Amino acid sequence: MTEQTKDLVIIGGGPAGLSAAIYARRSLLDAVTLEREALGGQVILTSEIDNYPGLPHTDGFTLSDAMRAQAEDLGAVILMDPVSELVRDDATGRFVVTTSSTRYDAASVIVAAGAQPRRAGFEGEERFAGHGVSYCATCDGMFYRNKQVFVIGGGNSAAEEALFLARLASKVTLVVRKDHLRAQTALVRELEDNEKVEIRLLTSIVSVDGGELPSTIEFRDNATGETHVETYDEGSFGIFVLAGRVPETGLLRGLAELDESGYAVTDERMATGVPGLFAAGDARRKPLRQIVTAASDGAVAATSAAAYLGLPVEG
């Protein structure tokens, strides 16, 4: 195993990590960005993006690849090397970041590993993810204007996003596996009062099938176990899985403060309570998780790391 010394190690190669890499170079930091699976993170699964400023009608791969190219053009070092351990030496205040091949001695660290949407687990979910199955109403709701949508989930997030989708879609069907909604009473009343919303309790989606886009949905009645299939015109509906997200913050557990859902707690400079340790993007607690907010977080985190190290800060 080789050893390297760095001003900054960025963990994660999604929009937050790539933005941090760009701003780290502009702040003259000796930095490395480490990604586990695929540059761009969850973004590359998105087939259509129309809410990133200045780049309408793009897709996740194109956008993330442009971010990567920009970072590398500036001299950023980006490696596919998963991080297995992050520890802090309390005596020196420095961090040890361990991968399968290298041990980095770092003066600062940005954790931008993102969050994974919690899957519903029905057959066809992975096949249609990004083109018929979505995990973010704010991101993809506009693609279903005047179409029918099915929302899986019964908590506050599902209820709130179902109400948001009801402003766009022709009909919203909330699919709830239990016999009740877990959302707050006020949200439940709003759903019940909205003529465009149907609530199906004790119901699960078993499978989705179709051609390039889904056209059939198989439902199960959780009270009786019986199933039935509903068929629609291909591309006339979408399924939103809104069962929560799972932040990739395992490296921070026991090191920095996490909230009850596992998200890193930071201030507005992306700083955790540990000096020199920052979190950015979907891995941190925040009110809105979008590509643009992740990129903003990365910029703030990198300039905050530069300020922490006493190096030039991007103005």
Q: Which residues are catalytic?
A: 136, 139-140
Q: How is residue 252 annotated by DSSP? A: G
Pair 239, 208: CB distance under 8 Å: yes
Rounded to a whole number of angstroms, the distance between the first and last alpha carbons of the chain is: 38
What are the structure tokens assigned to 120, written together? 């519903």
Burial label for 172, CB within 10 Å (0-12, 13-18, 19+), is buried
> For 16-46, b where at least 16 C-beta lie within 10 A, e where not — what string?
bbbbbbbbbbbbebbbbbbbbeebbbbbbbb
Closest CA to 241 of 164, 149, 115: 149
Q: What letter represents residue 10's amino acid?
A: I
Burial label for 201, CB within 10 Å (0-12, 13-18, 19+), is middle
- Cα–Cα distance, 302 to 161 (Å, whole number): 32
- Cα–Cα distance, 23 to 34 (Å, whole number): 16
- Cα–Cα distance, 15 to 40 (Å, whole number): 6
Q: Tell me the three state secondary structure of residue 241.
A: strand
- Cα–Cα distance, 11 to 278 (Å, whole number): 10
- Cα–Cα distance, 283 to 72 (Å, whole number): 24
Q: How far is CA 224 from CA 112, 177, 221, 272, in A?
A: 44, 12, 6, 49
